[in-house]
Amino acid sequence: MVGVNTLREMYEQMVTARRYEQRLQEEYLEGKQPAFDISAGPIPGELHLAAGHEAAAVGVCAHLDDEDTVTAPHRPHHVAIAKGVDLDRMTAEIFGRETGLCKGKGGHMHLFDPDVNFACSGIIAQGCPPAVGAAMAADKRNEDSVAVAYLGEGAVDQGAFLESLNLAAVRELPVVFVVEDNDWAISMPQDRITDVDTIAERADGFDMPGVRVDHDDAIAVYEAARDAVGRARNGNGPTLLDVQVHRRMGHFMGDAEGYRPDEDSERAQRLDAIERLADDLRDRGVDDAELQELRELAEDRVEDAIEWAKAQPEPDPADAHEDVFVDDPAAASGGDD
Amino acid sequence: MSTDVDSESVWPADADDVDEAVVANWFVREGGAVDAGDTLCEIQIEKVSVDVPAPESGTLAERTVPENGEFRRGDVLGRIETG
Amino acid sequence: MSKPASDPGTGGVDRELTMSRAMVDAIASEMRADDEVFYMGEDVQDYGGIFDSTEGLLEEFDRDRVMDVPISETAYVGAAVGAAQAGMRPIAEIMFADFVGVCLDQVYNQMAKNTYMSGSAVNVPMVLTTAVGGEYNDAAQHSQTLYGLFSHLPGMQVVVPSTAYDAKGLMHAAVRSDDPVVYMFHKRLMGIGWMPAPEGPKTPVPEDDYTVPIGEADVKREGGDVTVATLGLHVHRALDAADQLADDGVDVEVIDLRSLVPFDTETVLDSVEKTGRLVVVDEDYQSFGVTGEVVARVAERSPDALEAVERVAIPDVPIPYSRPLETEVNPQVEDIVAAVESVE
């Protein structure tokens, strides 16, 4: 049974993540009206927001410490928040500022925070092999840390995912693969591209447990992840955890979702894991005033991060030439031109 | 005789809450011949792009809204001389 | 047969098309003419291609000929190789050129080599389409052109249109080629509503079929003082630079390389023999790439003609996200102006 304090923390993270995406959406659309121009405004480039995916982030990360590794895909913010990534510096990175996590070089799809062992990649499923590698390192060093690789259901047909399942299984490595199943690979519905009823079935062929959480419920995710993370930490190998989530926004902010039936979008709005967890908290005696307080705390935290980020300086253009290597032989010898 | 190319008739129902847009592309130069139904231009309403057909055959006499120009719902986009 | 949405249907050259519409125009025409032609990729059905590369095709063709596929590039690009060897004419799309990494074996060890390894016993008449380029701050994994990578690996023809007219003609030529063709379209040139294009790529496009021969460069602007050879988005930047320089009395010739493999050395040589000065501009990494190749060809064939040379390309760093950083590394109009002035 999950304790009420843990649930309260999970709720706070979920409302933080939701508020974060709402506020980023507003900032992102600055300068992109009346016609949407992806390169305009304070946050240019693609922006993939995760509203509706929060339960998969907090339910798993509640079992992790800073030493545990998480890799996330192109839609990373909710997972980063749940993993404890520095919100100010992450936000500064998304605004392309010098003091961002990656000095403005990475952007929202490429966030790295080694303090909490978090990283993400813009190429789907490609975070899986490095997660296996983090688990391999822990295994070789006899440490009890684990690795979690997040991916979307559209990514489960990639070699990088399937090969990682096998490597993790055959080496009995402490990895949990978390599939966030939001039913849509951009415009492609799952049944058009993947011929299994649930992604969890993929685990069968790799001789590892495959667990489906078929409702977007933070407590159910928490309980399934407790078993999966525990199995990994105890040296019993990997698990595939398949979590139903709901896509409340387009794939990316320029996506008008013309291909998506209205009733599907409406269903995603209706089935809100945050409301569900709020009900669970009320059942455990947490009153509306306290929930309101948690939401306000989250709003303040998000607002502070955005305000801080926007006050940060832009990087010096000359810095574009740095960081290709940590030990740059050309730089050491004065460069070649 | 001339016919206006109006933006109201092509406005999609799911953009009912929006009343500004941009002409993203014109496909016919002023003075160019068009047949009724030909795509004259493409308008961008937030994230949605919509093709605007020529209401009549004739010559595109004027682009009232230039390329990349903003306009309000209901504004006339251009004028076709139907001679 | 209904008229495809991509075809504005105006008569003659009164119609102008965006590059994406011109590309789709050619694909639709080839699919109409030959049942063996089909298109597959991610989000090419209901979405119409993330960068409008298949917009409207589903209105005319069924879902077996415009195929959404699993996000499994190794499988479907490799399947295109197999279908091509079986005699079909598949067009397979990799959404971003950056994603070729996940299926590189099928591209460079299978698609590119099967003809040679078989002593021409088999051939691979497929087209690999892919979106390239940056300048909208999409960072290191979604902004590369990789022109040099594809061109370096032998066995693939590589084309890069910079205008709607060329986009249509090169697509017709690519589908009809009996060899694999990599067709690289620059996102910034497609004329997508949410990613405005510069002036220039939208051109008059005849309704009738025509081909732009693969392997022919195009002089987009004639001039006698300095040759600027480039491709893709930077054709338009070079033309802007040439306009600025003309005000200062410098007469720039702009060559759109248009095909990288096979490469039209003659057109570049003819120009450099006239001007004596060569600037090569590329939106790919500088070292071991297109700029070095162009300079080497001129130096080998006509060393005496080459009085001065300059390369302008992405310095050898991944593409950074932040706007001032990307602007620093991606050649801008003023960088081209400065390079021309430095050789002039």
C:182-201 residues touching chain B, CB 8 A cutoff? 191, 193-194, 196
Distance from C-alpha of C195 to C-alpha of C214, rounded to nearest angstrom: 28
Residues from chain C that touch B22, judged by Cβ atoms under 8 A, are 193
**What is the phi/psi pair of residue A193, to 5°?**
-125, -15
Q: Which residues of B touch A (CB under 8 A)?
A: 18, 20-22, 24, 44-48, 70
Contact between C247 and C341 (Cβ < 8 Å): no
Q: Going by CATH, does the domain composed of C12-204 fall within 3.40.50.970?
A: yes
Q: Please give the pLDDT value at position B83.
A: 73
**Segment C35-71, tens digit of pLDDT:** 999 999 999 999 999 999 999 999 999 999 999 999 9
**pLDDT tens, A23-76?**
999 999 999 988 899 999 999 999 999 999 999 999 999 999 999 999 999 999
The Cα C286–Cα C292 span in angstroms is 8
pLDDT band per the 50, 70, 90 thresholds, residue A331: low
Q: How confident is the model at residue C6 (pLDDT cuts 50, 70, 90)?
A: very low
List of chain A residues whose C-beta atoms are within 8 Å of the C-beta of residue C45:
187-188
Boundaries of every domain in chain A: 4-311
Over range A253-276, report the average pLDDT. 94
DSSP bridge partners of A120: A72
Q: Tell me: the pLDDT tens digits for C166-200?
A: 999 999 999 999 999 999 999 999 999 999 999 99
Q: A187 and C317: CB-CB below 8 Å?
A: no
Please report which confidence band the pLDDT of residue A330 belongs to, taking 50, 70 and 90 as the band edges: low
pLDDT value of position A332: 53
User: What does pTM read for this prediction?
Assistant: 0.95
CATH 3.40.50.920 location in chain C = 218-343
The backbone torsions φ and ψ at residue A161, rounded to the nearest 5 degrees and listed phi first, read -70, -50
Domain containing B63: what range? Answer: 2-81
Query: How many Cα atoms occupy the beta-carbon half-sphere of B48 within 13 Å?
Result: 18
**C222-248 tens-digit pLDDT:** 999 999 999 999 999 999 999 999 999
A255 touches chain B (CB under 8 A): yes
**Beta-carbon contacts of residue A209 (< 8 Å; ≥ 6 apart):** A203, A228, A231, A239, A240
Question: CB–CB of C10 and B42 under 8 A?
Answer: no
Cα separation of C304 and A7, whole Å?
Answer: 77
| Amino acid sitting at position A264 | D
Residue contact B48–A258, C-beta within 8 A: yes
CA-closest candidate to residue A148, choices A15, A6, A243, A245: A243
Across the interface, whether the CB atoms of B32 and C14 are under 8 A apart is answered: yes
Q: Give the mean model confidence (pLDDT) for residues A171-197.
A: 96
User: In the prediction, which pLDDT does B7 show?
Assistant: 93
Q: What are the tens digits of pLDDT across the range C101-146?
A: 999 999 999 999 999 999 999 999 999 999 999 999 999 999 999 9
For chain C positions 215-234, those within 8 Å of chain A (CB to CB) are none
B43 token code pair: 């308008």
Pick the CATH number of A4-311 from 3.40.640.10, 3.40.50.970, 1.10.3720.10, 1.20.1260.10: 3.40.50.970
Beta-bridge partner residues of B51: B42
Q: How far, rounded to the nearest angstrom, does the alpha carbon of residue A289 sit from its chain's CA centroid?
A: 29
DSSP 8-state symbol, C318: P
Q: What is the mean pLDDT of residues C207-218?
A: 97
What does DSSP say about strands B58-63 and B76-81: parallel, antiparallel, or unpaired? antiparallel
- Averaged pLDDT for residues A304-331: 93
Q: Give the SS3 label for residue A42.
A: coil
Partner residues linked to C254 by β-bridges: C221, C228
Bridge-based pairing of strands C277-285 and C226-230 is: parallel
Helices in chain C by DSSP H: which ranges?
19-33, 57-60, 73-85, 104, 114-117, 147-152, 164-176, 233-247, 265-275, 290-301, 323-329, 333-343
What does the buried/exposed string (b/e) look like for C40-52 if buried means 16 or more CB atoms within 10 Å of the residue's CB? bbbbbbbbbbbbb
Residues A114-161: tens digit of each pLDDT: 999 999 999 999 999 999 999 999 999 999 999 999 999 999 999 999
Architecture of domain C218-343: 3-Layer(aba) Sandwich (3.40)
Q: Phi and psi dihedrals of A167, rounded to 5?
A: -65, -45
Q: Tell the burial category of C57 from Cβ atoms under 10 Å away from its Cβ (0-12, 13-18, 19+).
A: buried
Looking at chain C, the whole-number percentage of residues with pLDDT higher than 70 is: 96
- DSSP, collapsed to helix, strand or coil, labels residue B3 as strand
Q: What integer is the mean pLDDT of B34-49? A: 92
Q: What is the mean pLDDT of residues A184-192?
A: 96
Write down the H helix ranges in A253-335.
Answer: 262-270, 273-283, 288-311, 329-332
Interface membership of A254 toward B (CB under 8 Å): yes
Q: Which helix (H) or strand (E) holds A231?
A: helix A218-233
Numbered ranges of CATH 3.40.50.970 in chain C: 12-204
pLDDT-based confidence at residue B53 (cuts at 50, 70, 90): very high
Q: Is A264 on the interface with C (CB under 8 A)?
A: no
Residue A329: pLDDT above 90? no
Share of chain B above pLDDT 90, in %: 83
pLDDT of C251 above 60: yes
Instruction: Give the torsion sign (CA, B47, A21, C328, C314).
Output: negative
| Distance in Å, alpha carbon of A270 to nearest chain C alpha carbon | 25
Dihedral angle computed from the Cα positions of residues C80, C86, C88 and C89, in that order, rounded to the nearest 10 degrees: 50
Average pLDDT of the residues of chain C: 95
Selected for mutation to probe chain C from B10, B18, B27 (highest C CB count within 10 Å) is B27
The answer to whether C327 contacts A317, with C-beta atoms less than 8 Å apart, is yes
Selecting from C101, C135, C140 the residue whose C-beta is nearest the C-beta of A39 gives C135
Q: What is the maximum span of chain B, computed from C-alpha positions, in angstroms?
A: 37
Residue-averaged pLDDT of chain A: 95
Measured between CA atoms, the residue of chain C closest to residue A160 is: C102
pLDDT interval class at C2 (50, 70, 90) = very low
Cβ atoms of C277 and C252 closer than 8 Å: no
Domain count, chain B: 1
Nearest to C101 by CA among A186, A124, A167, A45: A124
Say what the pLDDT of residue B1 is. 86
